[in-house]
């Protein structure tokens, strides 16, 4: 008998003062304007973050030195409603497609000029053992800041 342990997903949400279509566009098409500029491999920071706008598209960063860092893949692209991404970054920051978790973002109308963004990051058990728990802990602490940066960008574009 094989025992599969499921690790609880990370769930976060934020409300922004624009409709779902605009919220989606800023999140997905405008990701480079708000996503944190982290390190690529080595000491080169991200220069540009790119989400290709279709299911099967790549999610990657172009680094200051011109190299690319693979983040994941676009699994579902439903403008104004839903974005599903694979997160293929291992605990040490290296791409690992075989251990990919998933990030699902839903855009839900919350009144006439507001959208509730519900984010769920799941599938950590694919990393196996202690790495799964450490990765979950890392993203649990990271998503609030990332969503705050997104909300700030929405507010900035809404002035």
The angle subtended at Cα 76 by Cα 75 and Cα 77, nearest 5°, is: 130
Q: Look at residue 133 and tell me if it is in a domain.
A: yes
Q: pLDDT tens digit string along 68-101?
A: 888 999 999 999 999 999 998 766 666 777 778 9
Q: 31, 8, 17: which is closest to 105 by C-alpha? A: 31
Q: Look at residue 44 and tell me if it is in a domain.
A: no
Q: Look at residue 130 and tell me if it is in a domain.
A: yes
Q: What is the rounded CA–CA span in Å between residue 65 and residue 157?
A: 29
Q: Which residues pair with 32 in a beta bridge?
A: none
Q: Look at residue 75 and tell me if it is in a domain.
A: yes
| Number of domains comprising the chain | 1
Q: Look at residue 47 and tell me if it is in a domain.
A: no
Enclosing domain of residue 139: 10-34+71-157
CATH code where residue 107 lies: 3.30.530.20
Tens digits of pLDDT across the chain (159 residues): 555 668 899 999 999 999 999 999 999 999 999 998 876 766 677 889 999 999 999 999 998 888 888 899 999 999 999 999 999 876 666 677 777 899 999 999 999 899 999 999 999 888 877 778 888 888 899 999 999 999 999 999 987
């Amino acid at each position: 008998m094989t025992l599969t342990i499921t690790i609880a997903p990370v769930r976060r949400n934020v409300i922004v003062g624009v409709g779902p279509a605009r919220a989606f566009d800023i999140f997905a098409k405008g990701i480079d304007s708000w996503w944190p500029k982290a390190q690529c491999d080595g000491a080169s920071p991200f220069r540009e973050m790119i989400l290709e706008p279709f299911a099967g598209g790549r999610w990657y960063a172009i680094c200051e030195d011109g190299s690319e860092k693979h983040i994941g893949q676009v699994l579902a692209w439903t403008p104004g409603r839903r974005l599903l991404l694979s997160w293929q970054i291992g605990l040490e920051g290296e791409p690992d497609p075989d251990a990919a978790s998933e990030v699902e973002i839903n855009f839900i109308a919350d009144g006439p000029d507001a959208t509730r963004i519900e984010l769920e990051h799941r599938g950590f058990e694919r990393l196996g053992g202690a790495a799964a728990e450490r990765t979950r802990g890392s993203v649990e602490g990271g998503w609030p800041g990332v969503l705050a940066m997104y909300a700030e960008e929405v507010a900035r574009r809404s002035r």
